[in-house]
Structure 1
């Protein structure tokens, strides 16, 4: 794969040509609701083969029916589940490719590090679902995207794009103590 080269700033006043999305194979994590659902709908509407993963099976199946996208039930914090989603995306896409990957899945709230136990008892191992999803899940998605991007031949029609999506929760001081 050729190294990335900077081609200058993007002129945001120019409306993008969405016809270039036709035939692309797109993977979206956290695609059953919110921004992820918007990505699924937009890419599907513009002719992409979309595979999306989410833990919400009910919403995922409903969205897949509405859009023709491929839904895979996935907990992004589980490496093996993400591997299966990527395999399904490549195997079922018309060009057997992975062209665009959007790391969109994320959760908010509070990990158990702030839960205090009785200092007279043994400490309890904390659980970190937010770190598992928002950090490790994204890193797993990136690692798999790099693997699949590199495994396909270079071709102008099979360009590669990885999009990291984050929420305001990643930028604001939001430490909450019980």
Structure 2
């Protein structure tokens, strides 16, 4: 029993002496990969472990393809510049108009109405008042696109919901609605 007490006392002394070593020297790490991660160059030619990482996106996810830079600022001058200079790069086709209608019905019709008259469901329920009629405004493809990108007044931006071509398809459909209102 006496020897057991001596062994325990020696173990306590040895542990306390080993824990009081020089803190300026690097210590032993239990799991070093938890503290220092291995850097991978995901854009490298070899990829990770010799396998390429640039693969097609998973089905059902949003692709980052088709992202086009838009460098006109969100200012009144930017709005006027877009109104004067931006032109729709897509040809006016039945396919583009049909896709524009589908997207308009999803993102725009609840406020602007299915006819573009500003009498959407949210306007009828007095959630938003004063939504303008497309026929009452001077609209160009450029300022419609600019408003989709940045929003205007109470309307927020829809840039994150619509890709580049989809925005222009909505612009084509809005122009069609506007011509039908006149």
- TM-score, normalised to structure 2's length? 0.23
Relative to its length, the structure with more helix (as a share) is: 2
- TM-score, normalised to structure 1's length? 0.23
Higher gyration radius (CA)? 2
Relative to its length, the structure with more strand (as a share) is: 1
